[in-house]
Amino acid sequence: MGMKVFQERLKELRKLFGYTQKEVANRLGITQPSYIRYENGTSEPTLQCLANISEIYDVSVDYLLGLRDI
C-alpha cells in the first residue's frame, strides 16, 4: 500500500469530517494509539479495518490507497 498517500488521505478525511483520532479509533473498534500509527505510517490496517475506514468516510478503498481520485 502507498503508505504516504494513505496517511495523508486518512488525516485529511478525519479533519474534513471533524473527527478526533479517538473518535475514529472508537468507531473502528481499535485503540487510539493503533489509529495514530496508521496516520503516522508506522503500522498498516488490516483489510477489514481498511474496509471499515472506507465506510466511515464513504470513499473507496482505491481512493484511500491512492489508486484513484474521488
Q: How confident is the model at residue 2 (pLDDT cuts 50, 70, 90)?
A: low
Question: Is the model's pLDDT at 3 over the cut of 90?
Answer: no
Q: How many domains does the chain have?
A: 1
69 part of a folded domain: no
36 part of a folded domain: yes
40 part of a folded domain: yes
Domain, as residue range, for 15: 3-64
- How many angstroms separate the CA atoms of 40 and 10, rounded? 10
Instruction: State the pLDDT at residue 41.
Output: 93
pLDDT in tens, 21-60: 999 999 999 999 999 999 999 999 999 999 999 999 999 9
N-to-C CA span, the chain: 18
CATH number of the domain at 37, please: 1.10.260.40
Distances, alpha carbon 47 to alpha carbons 18, 40, 66, in Å:
24, 18, 16
Enter the pTM of the model: 0.91
Asked if residues 51 and 61 have their Cβ atoms less than 8 Å apart, the reply is yes
